[in-house]
């Protein structure tokens, strides 16, 4: 059996965590008990030194190496799909910044085998020219957007670039900002939501806010852009810009629901009464701004992405109910209209 090596940099959320718990919380690594066994087998290293105990704690800045057994890699594991359009906003020999359309899954999953962003990236770059650190079925993927979330994301063309980009996310210096329309009147002009997030024990399709063991730290800051007064339906709406400091599954959607302002159109976490969704069948959530230092050239990469037509139409439908834009909204909202 060949082996697969994972290189992980410990970010602020992992500081002081037991190594078996920290590893089991990472994407593409096995359960906590399996991670403990890897420690016992000498397959886990901290800063080049084998870990002697599963209870050893990691600290901010530690570099972990985990060695996993695997079968021989297949060449071209994914079927290339050239029929999926890629809206590329920046590309060089190292990475791609693109705008993902709503309805597109990032990588293969049950029911989606050859119609994903990963299949499109294979068609565009070739399987052998994409980073594989997230797994052989996730070529190029650095971070994900939910299927029905649109907007900017980054793909990597090598393991080395993929690793650096993932480190930038863990160290919270890859700036990702989202625009979201939520139900209700959000009074503060800005705020921070900080909770633990874990998979729901009642519904495995959902995540939930919890302080239970195994929950991962999730931090979202927001700035209010514009408020809309209540009309014949609903309690009004608020347009926000959210800044992710962590990248948990469904993080913004979970946090908005947690504070009593579910995302408009959210079919999983939103209100069941569709009258509040302004005709949307998907969540009003768009990755509109991304900024980071290029891992190789050092160039500052910054891209903005205006709202797609379905989300822009919803905003335009509420224009007469606008209560005015905040100072931040006066700057950002014109950029969202394209």
Catalytic center residues: 146
* CA torsion, ordered 315, 318, 321, 327, to nearest 10 deg: 0
d(CA 326, CA 338): 19
* Helices assigned H by DSSP within the chain: 19-24, 32-40, 117-125, 159-170, 251-258, 309-317, 327-336
| Cβ atoms of residues 151 and 145 within 8 Å | yes
236: left (phi over 0), alpha (psi -120 to 50) or beta: left
- Residue 315 makes CB contacts below 8 A (sequence gap 6+) with 181, 239, 307, 336
Q: How far is CA 218 from the centre of its chain?
A: 12
CA angle 284, 204, 67 (to 5 degrees): 100
| Cβ atoms of residues 235 and 182 within 8 Å | no
d(CA 253, CA 263): 6
Beta bridge partners of 19: none
d(CA 130, CA 211): 37
Paired tokens of 28: 């593409």
d(CA 165, CA 95): 10
d(CA 314, CA 336): 13
d(CA 16, CA 8): 15
d(CA 76, CA 244): 33
- The DSSP code for 220 is E
């Amino acid at each position: 059996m060949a082996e697969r090596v994972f290189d992980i940099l410990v970010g602020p959320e992992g500081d002081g965590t037991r190594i078996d718990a920290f590893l089991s919380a990472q994407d593409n690594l096995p359960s906590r008990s399996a991670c403990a066994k890897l420690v016992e087998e000498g397959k886990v290293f901290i800063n080049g030194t084998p870990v002697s105990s599963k209870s050893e704690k990691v600290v901010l800045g530690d570099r972990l190496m985990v060695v996993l057994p695997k079968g021989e890699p297949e060449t071209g594991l994914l079927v290339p799909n050239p029929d999926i359009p890629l809206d590329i906003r920046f590309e060089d020999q190292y990475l791609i910044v693109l705008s993902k359309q709503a309805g597109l899954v990032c990588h293969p999953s049950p029911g989606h085998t050859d119609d994903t962003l990963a299949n499109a990236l294979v068609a565009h770059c070739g399987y052998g020219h994409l980073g594989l650190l997230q797994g052989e079925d996730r070529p190029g993927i650095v971070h994900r957007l939910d299927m029905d979330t649109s907007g900017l994301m980054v793909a990597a063309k090598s393991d080395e670039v993929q690793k650096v980009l993932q480190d930038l996310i863990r160290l919270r210096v890859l700036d990702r900002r989202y625009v979201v329309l939520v139900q209700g009147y959000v009074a503060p002009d800005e705020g921070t939501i900080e909770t633990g997030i874990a998979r729901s024990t009642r519904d495995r399709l959902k995540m939930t806010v919890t302080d239970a063991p195994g929950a991962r730290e999730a931090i979202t800051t927001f700035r209010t852009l514009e408020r809309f007064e209540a009309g014949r339906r609903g309690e009004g709406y608020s347009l926000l810009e959210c800044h992710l400091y962590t990248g948990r599954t469904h993080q913004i959607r979970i946090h908005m629901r947690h504070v009593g302002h579910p995302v408009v159109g959210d079919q999983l976490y939103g209100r069941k009464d569709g009258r509040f969704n302004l005709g949307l069948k998907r969540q009003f959530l768009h990755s509109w701004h991304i900024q980071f230092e290029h891992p190789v050239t050092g160039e500052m990469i910054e891209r903005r992405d205006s709202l797609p037509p379905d989300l822009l139409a919803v905003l335009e439908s509420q224009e007469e109910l606008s209560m005015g834009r905040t100072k931040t909204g006066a700057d950002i909202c014109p950029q969202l209209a394209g």
